[in-house]
Chains A and B, each alone.
Chain A
Amino acid sequence: MSAVPLLDVRDLTVEFATRRGTVRAVRKVDLCIAKGETVGIVGESGSGKSVTSYAVMRILDRAGRIAQGSVAFSGVDLKAASEREMRDLRGREMSMIFQNPRAALNPIRTVGRQIEDVLRQHALAGSGDLKQKAIDALEQVRIARPEERYGAYPFELSGGMCQRIVIALALACRPQLLIADEPTTGLDVTTQKAVMDLVVELTAERGMSTILITHDLGLAAAYCGRVVVMEKGEVVETAHSSAIFRAPAHAYTRKLMRATPRPGITLRDLLPEDAEHPPAPAAPAASETLLSVEHLVKEYPRNAAGAFARLLRKGGEEAPFRAVDDLSFEVRRGESVGLVGESGCGKSTTSTMVMRLADPTAGRIAFKGEDIGAVPASAFSHHPLRSKIQMVFQDPSDSLNPRYTAARAIADPILRFGAAKGAAAVRARCEELARLVGLPGELLDRFPHQLSGGQKARIGIARAIALDPDLVILDEPTAALDVSVQAIVLNLLADLKAKLGMSYLFVSHDLNVVRLLCDRVIVMRQGRIVEQGAAARVIDDPQADYTRELIAAIPHPPVQEVTHV
């Protein structure tokens, strides 16, 4: 470590003026980054990790301000710097990459021009060599055929490609510090690996310092030398990344670390160690077939043009797009099956068809021996088997009617199917369900906007199990939740399954989570099954190349040694 740190943040406090008065998003944060160092800032939503970095770059929105503390960059006081001086630093000395790369690029300007804008601003290229330098920048982020991509618009590029452009933009002027704010959230795990490897390689080769802001402790530990853990605007722990998994010092870090799904643990290991947990009940052995899907196909027309335009277009129709291509699998009673794949692999389309919310193009969906795939989705709401297949949705907020109280939401299926008669009986059933999912009874009369994400997830689960279904489809039920809440919800789901004898079809992109909850796993790619088998077998000993690639792409936190410094 050199004597003067590259970035030295002391006692930083950031306040936001809101309607409800001043909110302190960041409190007395100290952060020190040495030259060439890679530091991860980890925290759940609302921890102030992003706000800290915006304050360093001085790009807080108009409601926010640095209330206290100092920020020094190479010994220069950024808090006192003028806007013009800051502009000179941004992009040239310190730059930033963001979550959602497509939105981070100007949609109506070619990517080459956007890189040129930055080069021109910092006078790193004259009009003569501007284009060549922009192409060089594209080449450095391993973009194939950079001359062609120079003239491309962001919408013409994939998400991973856009993130490379954003990195090219950030590194074009060879800054000393790169701040990466959730750079891979929303990207598939294989793309995430490619992007992170690229960032690490480029910054290491230039001797740059990097701050990686993420909610994923595993990702931070895998790519960073040091990890800073934040909670509610405060830094609770700073440690070497190998130490953080081995011996987390702060209670919050321990909780966060424990809650991060990783190989070689059980569901109970996710929960905080201090609380009492009854041992996980043993699941009953899987027996007869509950759901059987045979040769399922779903096609969408490729061209969404109007009928009029189609009439006039010469030539034959393009072949329709096959979202699900000849899929066959089974779910047995009491079994939990994981449906895994990257975005666009057809897993959600499959679950929607099994759920009978969409009609398959071809194939059979047999549930309890009856071909429910033959019943049109529009008529299925009155089908006697409707109550036996239920679903827990991805986004707990979106899945609750904003105008229904928790009790009304849980009561909806009970009222529709007449599972209980009379207001008192319905209420009693709601309270019983609330107890079952661990929702405090006094919250039953609240509206969704008065509840937390975890509480809303519990309501969604209570509603799904209200009619004693045989099969519950879990559509990424924890993807919108913080990791500590995810741990609790996953355990709740496992307990309910054991207690009520349901089967789960668990749709997820996260193999680590699937391994914890599922008996069997089906890996999908481009509408087809790549591999299926017992969860432990598929993950520990994958047979298909694609499964191997998926598993290799999951960030592995260093347990013994540190790979990147």
Chain B
Amino acid sequence: MTMADEQTTAAALPVAPPSPRFGETFAHARYVVGDNPVTGVSFGLLLILVICALIGPSIVPYDPLASDTAAALQPPSAQHWFGTDQLGRDIFSRVVVATRLDLAISVFSVALVFALGGLAGVAAGFFGGWTDRIVGRIADTIMAFPLFVLAMGIVAALGNTVTNIVIATAIINFPLYARIARAEASVRRNAGYVLAARLTGNSDARIVLTTILPNIMPIMVVQMSLTMGYAILNAAGLSFIGLGVRPPTPEWGIMVAEGAAFIVSGEWWIALFPGLALMLAVFCFNLIGDGLRDIVDPQRRT
């Protein structure tokens, strides 16, 4: 039997959850959303964030970079919904436009760490032995640093760019992903159905791809959602102390940093609105992560 032949044959048998399973998952999802309307709200919030990231720059009322010293430091008004900063730039426009950059940083870093950490962890958990030792040693070494401090060190050393923020954020999340994937894979390594797959002549690579990965995917997706929030916080924290993103680029962390000087003199809006945007975005990903976990694993509800 050729490989292609085999693929079509396998495809003819329902592998991925078809209608009954999907229907049930959907019903469970509806139950969870119904039980916890917050999850529904957070999905709505996510939609708004994605829209802002995609078409934000073309819908905002002002140029986010255009300064107007005559209109500096104005509190929120009908013209400037979120007020203006010390250079007279419209904060609303800057907050909306910044969505794209903040989401992009976290999406790319999470995708990167998912690919690297997830695969390394699965390999470590499934094969054990020296693979496990090497992955474990790398993860332990990263974990020996306070993570934000390590990210600071990495960006300072590699150079002050957005790409390096993405890399640093991925590196500090590596141990988390590697550990979760390792734990899930090593539990399943000795599960009856993996042994059974071995007895039916599946090679290790095939077992990892067709049996282990699909089964740990839901847990990894939950983790991705939860770390999205952390990645946003981390990137914003770095730019708050002057790493990565540089003015005048609109980015939430740097905007809060710019507003920090004005808080003590009472100009609260400069820091408040980008901070709120940051908080809502992180909140949204955390809630979605919790919601997804309820769907994936009803027993582990907390």
Contact = CB atoms under 8 A, between A and B. Distances in A.
Chains A and B touch (C-beta atoms under 8 A apart): yes
Interface in A398-421: 398-405, 407-409, 411-413, 415-418, 421
Nearest to B1: A418
Nearest to B15: A408
Interface stretch (B101-109, B201-209, B262-270): B201-209
A357 B198 contact: yes
B249 interface: no
Interface residues of A, number: 46
Interface in B182-227: 191-193, 195-204, 211, 214-215
A408 B13 contact: yes
B198 A447 contact: no
A10 interface: no
B9 A422 contact: yes
A418 B211 CA distance: 19
Interface string A418-430: 1001110011000
B198 A401 contact: no
A409 B215 CA distance: 15
B146 interface: no
A413 B201 contact: yes
B203 A381 contact: yes
Nearest to A306: B133
Interface string A508-542: 00000000000000000000000000000000000
A404 B20 contact: no
B17 A403 contact: yes
A473 to B, nearest CB: 9
Contacts of A386: 199, 201
A423 B8 contact: yes
Among A378, A389, A405, the most chain B Cβ lie within 10 Å of the Cβ of A405
A422 B8 CA distance: 8
Interface in A430-472: 445-447, 450, 460, 463-464, 466-467
A277 interface: no
Given A19-B31, A413-B201, A393 B195 contact: yes
A489 B229 CA distance: 51
A131 B249 CA distance: 72
A402 B215 contact: yes
A401 B211 CA distance: 7
A137 to B, nearest CB: 37
Given A391-B195, A423-B12, A416 B215 contact: no
A418 B9 CA distance: 11
A381 B198 contact: yes
B134 to A, nearest CB: 13
A399 B199 contact: no
Contacts of A398: 191-193
Contacts of B198: 357, 381
B192 A400 contact: yes
Size bracket, chain B contacts: 20 to 34
Contacts, number: 110
Given A386-B201, A401-B197, A447 B13 contact: no
A394 B16 contact: no
The binding surface of chain B is classed by DSSP as helix
A511 B173 CA distance: 53
Contacts of B1: 415, 418, 421
Interface in B1-21: 1, 5-6, 8-10, 12-18, 20-21
B3 to A, nearest CB: 11
Contacts of A417: 200-201
Interface string A345-359: 000000000010100
B202 A416 contact: yes
B20 A382 contact: no
A176 interface: no
B30 to A, nearest CB: 12
A413 B200 contact: yes
A386 B13 CA distance: 24
Contacts of A400: 192-193, 196
Contacts of A241: none
A387 interface: yes
A486 interface: no
Nearest to A407: B13
Contacts of A402: 193, 215
Contact of A423 (B9, B201, B215): B9
Contacts of B215: 401-403
Interface string B85-117: 000000000000000000000000000000000
A390 B21 contact: no
A495 interface: no
B20 A447 contact: yes
Contacts of A147: none
A326 interface: no
Interface string A316-336: 000000000000000000000
A30 interface: no
Contacts of B196: 391, 393, 399-401, 409, 412, 460, 463
Contact of B201 (A387, A391, A407): A387
A395 interface: yes
Contact of B5 (A393, A421, A447): A421
Contacts of A460: 196
Contact of B192 (A394, A416, A418): A394
Contacts of A413: 199-201
Contacts of A409: 193, 196
Interface of B: 1, 5-6, 8-10, 12-18, 20-21, 31, 191-193, 195-204, 211, 214-215
30 contacts: A357-B195, A381-B198, A382-B201, A382-B203, A391-B196, A394-B192, A398-B193, A399-B191, A400-B192, A401-B196, A402-B215, A403-B16, A403-B215, A404-B193, A407-B14, A408-B10, A411-B10, A412-B196, A413-B199, A415-B9, A416-B200, A416-B202, A422-B5, A423-B13, A426-B9, A427-B13, A445-B18, A445-B20, A463-B200, A464-B199
Given A398-B191, A416-B200, A445-B14, 14 more contacts: A387-B201, A391-B199, A394-B192, A400-B196, A401-B196, A403-B16, A403-B17, A408-B14, A418-B1, A421-B9, A426-B12, A427-B13, A447-B20, A463-B200
Listed from nearest, the 8 A-B pairs whose CB atoms lie closest are: A399-B192, A423-B12, A413-B200, A416-B201, A418-B1, A398-B192, A401-B193, A393-B192
